Amino acid sequence: MTPDTFEALPLAAPLHRALRDLGYTVPSPIQAQAIPLLLEGRDLLGCAQTGTGKTASFALPILHAIHEKPKALKPKTTRTLILTPTRELAVQVAKSFTTYGKQVRFRQTLIYGGVGQNPQVAAMRIGVDVLVATPGRLLDLIEQRHLDLSGVEFFVLDEVDRMLDMGFARDVNKIVSMLPQQRQSLFFSATLAPNIVQLAEIILRNPARVSIQPQTTTAERIEQRVAFIHKEHKRHLLEQLLSEQAKAGSAKLTIVFSRTKHGANKLAKGLCAVGFQADAIHGNKSQAQREKALDRFRKGLTPVLVATDVAARGVDVKDVGLVVNFDLPNEPEAYVHRIGRTGRAGADGLSVSFCSDEELEFLRDIEKVIKMPVPLWNDHRWHDETVADKHARGIRGPVPARGGKSGGGQKRGGGGGRNQGGGQKRGGQGQNRGGQGSGQSQSQGESQAAPAVAGATGFNPARRRRRRSGGRSHYSGANSSR
């Protein structure tokens, strides 16, 4: 039986106190399932997306073990190693440990690239209880003998699917080979493709399995729409969407995804030029720039963040109400991750994807992965019926996006039943021992200005928000400090 409340979980008193302070009373499904198994010492294979509360599902049992069995720190070692694909996610995870463990005596640090290594080396000198790291810098420091993994008791691999997408397979294998045999291992991935299951089999021993989102399904709480549009008009439609957000008086934030770093910069600049407060984050920005941009975004000072996939990983901001796929991702799984930036912790979310002729193949792949057609939004000035029709009839775009297949005329399954317009119902650092916690002018060169408001018959994000107030989730409490 899974526990209905945190009180029913046999966690140490300081953890219960922290959870009460946070206002968390009801464990999310992954927490309810995973925490009892982890407290028994089992290895775990968790299939869960971000936004499901998975960080607490591993942070709480690990903090419990550290509290119950405190150990003297050993120089250059760590009792817990959490590997994440990106710096941003590493920072988020470390923050969660700080938040949940604010009344537990433990020491943690962060190790990631893109910043000087000296503070990280210094933090490891006396050893830590919890180390959150990205693979590359971790291996660097191991090779320089600034740390060793011989003391690891708890090993967590977070967002494994992303880790492999980003080419970390060799690094991960190398790190795993350095771990002691005697350990508890936890493995989290949003999808369980065969290569991921293979890696899990190497790492885990007789693992318990917990699956929160069935493989590759789209987060249910997120309302999705696709707009078929010529690529030159995408900016206008984006401006329209953002104006509607602003008109609705929404305090919600928007993340706009761009496929390229250059595109992200250009878009953010263009939005600023027409009066929106926007910033860009991508891999070419320094860690300090990324953190500053994220901080301003979180506070609502720049309510629009234009991001590339890698940079957006680990962005856990509660009030993201809208995700716009300005460009569709060429990896269908990235779509699931992108739209998962909204609808976090049980909140409502909306995602709008722009699809031009060149991106039809990407959309087809996405719909295969999410096993449903993305509902159509055609009630806007730039709707391109030719592209919509091509999609409905399964005709590929002009540029074979991947694999060089050209196509035509083939029928696609599942294209029917599209929702025309709106109205669609949806289913739904406390007492730690220190450590490093860590002018409104249309831009030139565009002939067509964006209309002020959407045509009022169909899908309209502002109306949708009014329609859909209420709808509480299983989460009952206030949210974290993230």
CA angle 180/58/155 to nearest 5° reads 15
Quote the radius of gyration of the chain (alpha carbons, Å): 23
Single out the residue of 316, 333, 365, 384 in contact with ligand AMP (rule: CB under 6 A). 316
Q: Which stretch binds ligand AMP (CB under 6 A): 27-35, 164-172, 183-191, 271-279?
A: 27-35
Give the phi and the psi of residue 120 in degrees, each rounded to 5: -70, -40
Q: Which stretch binds ligand AMP (CB under 6 A): 53-61, 262-270, 326-334, 371-379?
A: 53-61
Site string for ligand AMP, 323-362 (x = CB under 6 A): ---------------------xx-----------------
Q: How far is residue 323's CA from residue 424's CA, in Å, rounded to a whole number?
A: 18
Residue placing its CB nearer to ligand AMP in the complex, 264 or 315: 315
Cβ 80 to ligand AMP shortest distance, Å: 16
CB-CB contact of 89 with 158 (8 Å): yes
| 188 lies in the binding site for ligand AMP (CB under 6 A) | no
| 102 lies in the binding site for ligand AMP (CB under 6 A) | no
| 54 lies in the binding site for ligand AMP (CB under 6 A) | yes
HSE-CB of 90 using CA atoms within 13 angstroms = 29
Category of 56 on φ-ψ map: left (φ > 0), alpha (ψ -120 to 50) or beta: alpha
Cβ 352 to ligand AMP shortest distance, Å: 22
| 51 lies in the binding site for ligand AMP (CB under 6 A) | yes
User: Measuring CA to CA, how many Å separate 100 from each of 6, 15, 339?
Assistant: 13, 6, 26
Q: Which stretch binds ligand AMP (CB under 6 A): 44-52, 125-133, 218-226, 323-331?
A: 44-52
Q: Which stretch binds ligand AMP (CB under 6 A): 50-58, 208-216, 348-356, 450-458?
A: 50-58
Residue placing its CB nearer to ligand AMP in the complex, 345 or 450: 345
Q: Which residue has the tokens 């998962």?
A: 340
Q: Which residue has the tokens 């494994």?
A: 160
What is the spatial order of strands in the sheet that 304-307 belongs to? 222-228, 349-355, 320-325, 253-257, 304-307, 278-281
| 475 lies in the binding site for ligand AMP (CB under 6 A) | yes
Q: How far is residue 348's CA from residue 343's CA, in Å, rounded to a whole number?
A: 5
Cβ 220 to ligand AMP shortest distance, Å: 15
Single out the residue of 46, 53, 373, 435 in contact with ligand AMP (rule: CB under 6 A). 53
Q: Which stretch binds ligand AMP (CB under 6 A): 45-53, 101-109, 159-167, 245-253?
A: 45-53
Single out the residue of 269, 318, 381, 418 in contact with ligand AMP (rule: CB under 6 A). 318
Site string for ligand AMP, 255-274 (x = CB under 6 A): --------------------
Cβ 56 to ligand AMP shortest distance, Å: 5
| 86 lies in the binding site for ligand AMP (CB under 6 A) | no
Cβ 52 to ligand AMP shortest distance, Å: 5
Which residues on neighbouring strands pair with residue 133, listed in sequence order?
A: 83, 111
Single out the residue of 9, 14, 24, 359 in contact with ligand AMP (rule: CB under 6 A). 24
Sequence-ordered list of residues with C-beta below 8 angstroms from that of 353, at least 6 positions apart, any chain: 224, 225, 226, 227, 324, 325, 328, 335, 363, 374
Single out the residue of 52, 184, 243, 353 in contact with ligand AMP (rule: CB under 6 A). 52
| 29 lies in the binding site for ligand AMP (CB under 6 A) | no
Cβ 311 to ligand AMP shortest distance, Å: 17
The token duo for 340 is 């998962």
Burial group, residue 235, by CB count within 10 angstroms (0-12, 13-18, 19+):
buried
Cβ 38 to ligand AMP shortest distance, Å: 14
Cβ 26 to ligand AMP shortest distance, Å: 6
CB-CB contact of 17 with 101 (8 Å): no
Cβ 294 to ligand AMP shortest distance, Å: 14
Q: How far is residue 449's CA from residue 274's CA, in Å, rounded to a whole number?
A: 11
* Site residues for ligand AMP per CB under 6 A: 24, 26-28, 31, 50-56, 316, 318, 344-345, 475, 477, 479-480, 482
